[in-house]
Chain A
Amino acid sequence: QKVSVEVLEHLEHLALVDFRDAEGVQRLQKAIQFADQLHEVNTDGVEPMDSVLEDRWCLYLREDDVTEGNCTKELLENAREKVEEYFVAPPGNIPLPKLEERETFLQGS
């Protein structure tokens, strides 16, 4: 069962990472095939496990007290583009070009 081009394109869009070439797509196909082995296991009545520490219930809430911070300068240091205390991003709300418009290897498949 091959993954459809629509799903491949959808994945590229969700992940914002591209398959790049046929090998990339093959890799996904093999990964799915590998994962399909899971269906051999009978999991009737089994609850999914989120964390091995579920019995200990570590995830707690702490008091809403400010204990650290004021490190704007340090945090901005690693950003390549910034203006005053802002990270700069290109305009948002512009979707990635559609498949037909994009230069992507998937067009060929």
Chain B
Amino acid sequence: AALSRGLRSQVSAALKEGRVAPTELCQRCLALIKSTKFLNAYITVAEETALKQAEESEERYKRGQPLGILDGIPIAIKDNFNTAGIETTCASNMLKGYISPYNATVVQKLLDQGAVLLGKTNLDEFAMGSGSTDGVFGPVRNPWSYSKQYKEKSVPKSHPEDEESNWVITGGSSGGSAAAVASFTCFAALGSDTGGSTRNPAAHCGVVGLKPTYGLISRHGLIPLVNSMDVPGILTRCVDDAAVLLGSLAGHDPKDSTTIQDDFKPFELLNLTDVSKLSIGIPKEYHAPGLSSEILALWSKAADLFKNAGAKVVEVSLPHTPYSIVCYHVLCTAEVASNMARFDGLEYGHRSDMKDSTESLYAATRREGFNDVVRGRILSGNYFLLKQNYEKYFVKAQKVRRLIANDFVKVFRSGVDILLTPTTLRDAAPYTEFIQEDNRTRSAQDDILTQAANMAGLPAISVPTALSERGLPVGLQFIGRSFQEKQLLTVAKWFEKQVQFPVIQLEEVKRHDSDVFQHQKSASFS
């Protein structure tokens, strides 16, 4: 029962008062990871080191000297963050077997506060994707696929095979982290967010997904996708927990010169009672083509919720929204082309047996190490960066980026405090349906509502709102002003309290489909 409660109020208190021991908590989480293995949320489970960390935490609690709220709390980390001594794969053949020699700053911060690192979670290869289906370790399954709520609404009461093929995706690319938090195997998880990769799976898995302001949390050690947009993301079961995590991670890092130098003061969220001074903006362009009528209705209901509570709710316009995804497509592939150049097989990662020449080694290594999605983006990016295309595509996209960022500035300047939008176009799709379209098409469709916040560097959070007709989670998104996470989270917490999102009722999976997951270990080069 303790597993479904908030950190600050329940678990930390329980640890402090000795009602539960860190080692016990750790063991329970590890056991749960084992029994939910079919979700494929974890790539690596660091059992030994986690237990050791839990033991050390226990010693500290016995001495009455815990390091803080996070001491002894089991956390999972997306597998694109460097973790010293633990394999970091980015779900790619290119980094299989790569043992990080250092901890990402955010990982180090968590460890310094006594957090217990349970393992590395699954993702789309190199965080490219919106389904967590395109990694070499196979797709991640949404825990809600096995919930009473989904089964009652969606699964025909016939053969088990039907049930087996009905499972839905987690969304992505931080699907493993979202699934890990949603299935109670950890209290919080780190994801990354470049186009919506933390918020999208958060919405599909019924958890809170926070994308902080660009420049607030260090990217040192986060294997980069798009340097000008990447941020570490936070996934938790409630908004208060997200605030706790934010408090322990934010702040200037001399190792990441894109972090701002202002002092960051961790905050505790107060319970908002009076929303009458709040101005909520509803951007009309977020009524995007393809938005399900269900989510549109929920969005509308949420706006009414604020209005009825006395807040000012206004329709606003972010006219360049429809171009955000195209702009992202160009800038992302361009930065990817540059960032992926480091993978040549010489210093780390996969190395081909090719010995003819340096260039042929690089080419063969990269052919063997990257999947189609990654290679596709590298090639597209290189195309947009060709001399004859540079102005036409790359610089053009940078100009459009400014227009998109300015849209937000104008709206916030007009007196709006927070924007309220849907996070996804629909609830989680069944895997068999999702893979009908290729990765680029899907990403273009699914990132449409989350992407602009990355373009403008703004903080945004997805809060689980309600269950869809199919019994699956739907989240709504709040976008705030730069570095105003406190206001953003305060409003999100108020909203969370109003909607009372239901707890997942996970049914016991009776069969052990161990052969289904054989491919996890023996993924072949594509």
Contacts and interface: CB of A to CB of B under 8 A. Distances in A.
Interface of A: 3, 7, 10-12, 14-20, 23-24, 27-28, 30-32, 34-35, 37-41, 43, 46-53, 56, 58-60, 62, 71, 74-75, 77-81, 87-96
Nearest to B358: A92
B348 interface: yes
Interface string B250-294: 000010011111000000000000000000000000000000000
Interface stretch (B16-24, B53-61, B304-312, B324-332): B324-332
Contacts of A78: 98-99, 101, 347-349
B2 interface: no
A58 B403 contact: no
Residue from the set A14, A15, A20, A38 with the largest chain B CB neighbour count within 10 Å? A15
B375 A24 contact: yes
A46 B399 contact: yes
Contacts of B184: none
Contact of B354 (A35, A46, A90): A90
B351 A80 contact: yes
**Interface SS of A by simple majority:** loop
Contacts of B382: 11, 14-15
Interface of B: 98-99, 101-102, 214-215, 228, 254, 257-261, 320, 323, 326-327, 329-330, 333, 337, 344-349, 351, 354-363, 366-367, 370, 372, 375-376, 378-380, 382-384, 386, 392-393, 395-403, 405, 438, 440, 444, 456-457, 482
B366 A79 contact: no
A84 to B, nearest CB: 15
The 4 closest A-B pairs by CB, nearest first: A52-B457, A48-B398, A94-B357, A78-B348
20 contacts: A14-B386, A15-B378, A17-B363, A17-B379, A20-B372, A27-B372, A31-B329, A31-B440, A35-B330, A38-B397, A43-B400, A46-B403, A49-B401, A49-B405, A52-B215, A79-B346, A79-B348, A91-B357, A92-B357, A96-B360
A31 B393 CA distance: 12
Contacts of A53: 214-215, 258, 260, 457
Nearest to A56: B260
B259 A58 contact: yes
Contacts of A7: 383, 386
A34 B356 contact: no
Contacts of B361: 89-90
Contact of A58 (B260, B357, B395): B260
B320 A96 contact: no
Given A11-B382, A35-B329, A87-B347, A48 B399 contact: yes
B376 A28 contact: yes
A78 to B, nearest CB: 4
A34 B402 contact: no
B346 A37 contact: no
A41 B400 CA distance: 7
A53 B483 CA distance: 11
Nearest to B255: A68
A59 B357 contact: no
Given A16-B359, A46-B402, 12 more contacts: A16-B363, A17-B366, A17-B378, A27-B438, A38-B323, A38-B393, A41-B403, A48-B399, A52-B456, A52-B482, A87-B347, A90-B361
A76 to B, nearest CB: 9
Given A20-B375, A28-B383, A41 B323 contact: yes
A77 B228 contact: no
A17 B375 contact: yes
B362 A16 contact: yes
Contact of A11 (B345, B354, B355, B383): B383
B358 A75 contact: no
Nearest to B99: A78
B338 to A, nearest CB: 11
Nearest to A87: B346
Contacts of A27: 372, 376, 379-380, 438, 440
B215 A59 contact: no
B326 A38 contact: yes
Contacts of A80: 345, 351
Nearest to B444: A34
Contacts of A75: 101, 347
Given A38-B400, A48-B398, A53-B260, A96 B359 contact: yes
Nearest to B396: A38
Contacts of A77: 99, 101
Contacts of B384: 35
A57 to B, nearest CB: 10
Contacts of A52: 214-215, 228, 405, 456-457, 482
Contacts of A39: 392, 396
B376 A24 contact: yes
B354 to A, nearest CB: 7
Contacts of A3: 383
A90 B360 contact: yes
B379 A15 contact: yes
A31 B333 contact: yes
Contact of A24 (B254, B337, B360, B372): B372
Given A27-B440, A38-B326, A49 B398 contact: yes
A74 to B, nearest CB: 4
B396 A37 contact: no
A59 B227 CA distance: 13
B146 to A, nearest CB: 34
